[in-house]
A and B are shown apart, each in its own frame.
Chain A
Amino acid sequence: MNRTNGADVKIMGLTKTYGQKAVLQDLDLDIAPGEFVAIVGRSGGGKSTLLRLIAGFEQPTDGGILVDEMPLKRRNKTTCTMFQNDRLLPWQRVLDNVGIGLQQKNWRQLAQQALEQVGLGDRAHEFPSVLSGGQKQRVALARALVRNPHLLMLDEPLGALDALTRIEMQRLIEQIWQKQQFSVFLITHDVEEAVALGDRVLLIEHGQIALDMPIPLPRPRQRKSQAFVTLSEDILERVMGDSSDVVNTASKESLETAHAC
């Protein structure tokens, strides 16, 4: 299979500041077409901010993003986002939720196919409130997939799921990705998840990419294999690396706020 389905993303000198606070600083990143990039990093490090910029929800303060060699302007139809919470419309049935915003005449059929892809073909006519958390996330995944994305953005989509459901979902995402060959930008707080899925694992720290680690393991990845465990531990160590630093800055910040009061 060729990789023409995947978007090619180039990020150059990306900077985003909120007020005085620089969340992303002069960040460079390339995502090759069809590549699966997993992002880890400490809370508040700017992962979601980067995702929101690439997805076009927010505008950069400085620098630029090219998607398929076109400068990104606001929303891009071939970029689909799956959020941490399912964000389903509770008043619409599952099928209508998946088909939201589709223009095609046969959208019902497309939505039904997408639902079958995530194993929920028989729940199309129910309201989201009767589904389990994992099922809702699968509907949200179907909603993103039905648009044939070239770039799938995932912001901790599995964070709220139990371990077993999470591994099932990871397999599902991997299978669909292998079939459709879109590019993936996955944020996760679970280093194992990053190593299990990513072609590369990136660590975002201080508004920049502090680590860019290729994962050369064959798929599907064996979580018990020595290589897998070593890689995971290395990355985890690197993420935790300057945890003493956190304590310091945290206490310094609280001191400063104490002064401000």
Chain B
Amino acid sequence: MQRGTKEAIGKFVPWILPIVLLILWQMLVKFGWLSTRVLPAPSDVVVAGIRLAQTGELSRNLMISTIRAIIGFSIGGVIGFALGLLNGVSRPAEKALDTSVQMIRNIPHLALIPLVILWFGIGEESKIFLVALGVFFPIYLNTFHGVRTVNPELIEMAKSYGLRGWNLFSKVIFPSALGSILVGVRYALGIMWLTLIVAETITLDSGIGYMAMNAREFMQTDVVVLSILMYAMLGKLADSITRTLEKKWLKWNPNYQSV
């Protein structure tokens, strides 16, 4: 029982500061110290959220953004993972490909937006392309690094006990690289939302970014803030999912055990 309350308090602690800030913000706006043109009151944001939820606009835009994110992430992630594995396992492949990847990596992918619009127009393809490109690099780099830093002693041991090919990969190389790969995934998720925000605000048609830009034209600061909050929420959600996966998949590692 005592342990239960302790746990509840432990869960509550991280939320104290945000709640205090929120209350402060609400008071600042309501007492007129902060113009609603600069920032809407939190309560107004909630009201806007309810309004947009009722018209169905919010869920529609949320859905579209999420689908874009998932598709872009899957494409970029799968390619990055595969290439990272390939270059990690095979020295000749690394020699042939890694330098090129590193060169492209040094171009900020958002700088390609004008070119991407010329290639794909302002439709879905351009947004998915940008997300995939942004996601590719962290996943590639961390997969590559993870595979390369597998303890050679473990590989020697496994080989001496007859493991090779797929077995060697699935029992030794992949589990060993998994921690690093998941770091790449978390990093990539951040880039995924960032890319999507920028891409959606530029190629206007739908999605949370579009909602924000549209609201700006009508000075609806409440909707702008709401959109930003939606992004934050989606980002947090994605991060929580990876954390859960980390805990599940890396439970052998004392560093990842929940305390």
Chain A residues in the interface with B (C-beta under 8 A): 55, 57, 75, 77, 80-81, 83, 85, 87, 89-92, 100-101, 103, 127-129, 143, 147
Contact = CB atoms under 8 A, between A and B. Distances in A.
B154 A77 contact: no
A87 B154 contact: yes
Interface of B: 153-154, 156-163, 167, 171-172, 175-176, 178, 250-254
A87 B163 CA distance: 14
B153 A57 contact: no
Contact of A101 (B153, B161, B178, B253): B161
Contacts of B253: 90-91, 129
B146 to A, nearest CB: 13
Contacts, number: 50
Given A89-B171, A103-B162, 10 more contacts: A75-B160, A75-B162, A77-B162, A80-B160, A81-B160, A89-B175, A92-B175, A101-B161, A127-B252, A147-B161
Mostly, the A contact residues are loop
Given A89-B171, A91-B252, A100 B158 contact: yes
B162 A89 contact: no
B153 A83 contact: yes
Nearest to A86: B157
A87 B157 contact: yes
B252 A101 contact: no
A89 B155 CA distance: 10
A57 B156 contact: yes
Given A89-B172, A89-B175, A129-B252, A100 B160 contact: no
Nearest to A96: B171
11 contacts: A75-B160, A87-B153, A91-B250, A91-B252, A100-B161, A100-B163, A100-B171, A101-B161, A128-B252, A129-B254, A143-B161
Contacts of B160: 55, 57, 75, 80-81
Contacts of A75: 159-160, 162
A91 B156 CA distance: 17
A77 B161 CA distance: 8
A229 B210 CA distance: 86
A91 B175 contact: yes
A98 to B, nearest CB: 10
A89 B156 contact: no
Contacts of B172: 89
Contact of B158 (A55, A57, A101, A127): A101
Contacts of A57: 156, 160
Contacts of B254: 129
Contacts of B252: 90-92, 127-129
A127 B254 CA distance: 10
Nearest to A84: B153
